[in-house]
Amino acid sequence: MGALSDEPPIRVRNGSMKITLVSGEWVASGQAWIPLAGTNAGGFVVVVEFATRSGRRLGQPVFGTEVDVSYSDHKTVKFRIDPSTSKTRVTPKGILKKTADKTLVHGLAGRGYITGVKVKDRGTSWTCAFGSRDALSEIDIYPLPHPRRKQRPQARRKK
């Protein structure tokens, strides 16, 4: 799936919770981390990539305005949109360590794992739980385009 807005997609990998921007850089903003470039005011498309014996399997895309990723130490990282700046905010800042321009990390590889992801949209929610570190490969979080922004043209399939 390609970029849907001018804010970069985010990948959350299992093991230590590794939150990576596909492009750009994380910057501190108050009590949150935000992508330096781009905006997002439409919400998120979330795709869970399950680990299987034969490789990886993509789940169905889920749409929402809030995303919570839980870790085995009972900490939860939240992805929200700041209505005043139209930026994705990742909290709590204090449990995430910036290890590179594009990467935030929580936990230690081999010592914990992502236990669940919850996507909320107004009054509804979708939840997926993981009972072991081997159940999940990664979670892709794609920002939706700003509603006042003109949509980029879609590529047409060749017949």
User: pLDDT 10s per residue in the chain (159 long)?
Assistant: 444 456 778 888 887 899 999 889 999 999 999 999 988 877 999 999 887 777 677 788 999 999 999 999 999 999 999 988 889 999 999 999 999 999 999 988 778 899 999 999 988 999 999 988 888 888 999 998 655 544 443 433 334
Cut 0.95: pTM above it: no
Contacts 24+ apart (CB under 8 A), 146-150: 146/5, 146/6, 146/39, 146/40, 146/41, 146/42, 146/86, 147/41, 147/42, 148/41, 149/5, 149/6, 149/39
Q: Are 7 and 39 in contact (CB under 8 A)?
A: yes
Question: Residues with Cβ < 8 Å from 22, sequence gap 6 or more?
Answer: 3, 8, 9, 10, 11, 102
Count helices and strands (H / E) in the chain.
0, 15
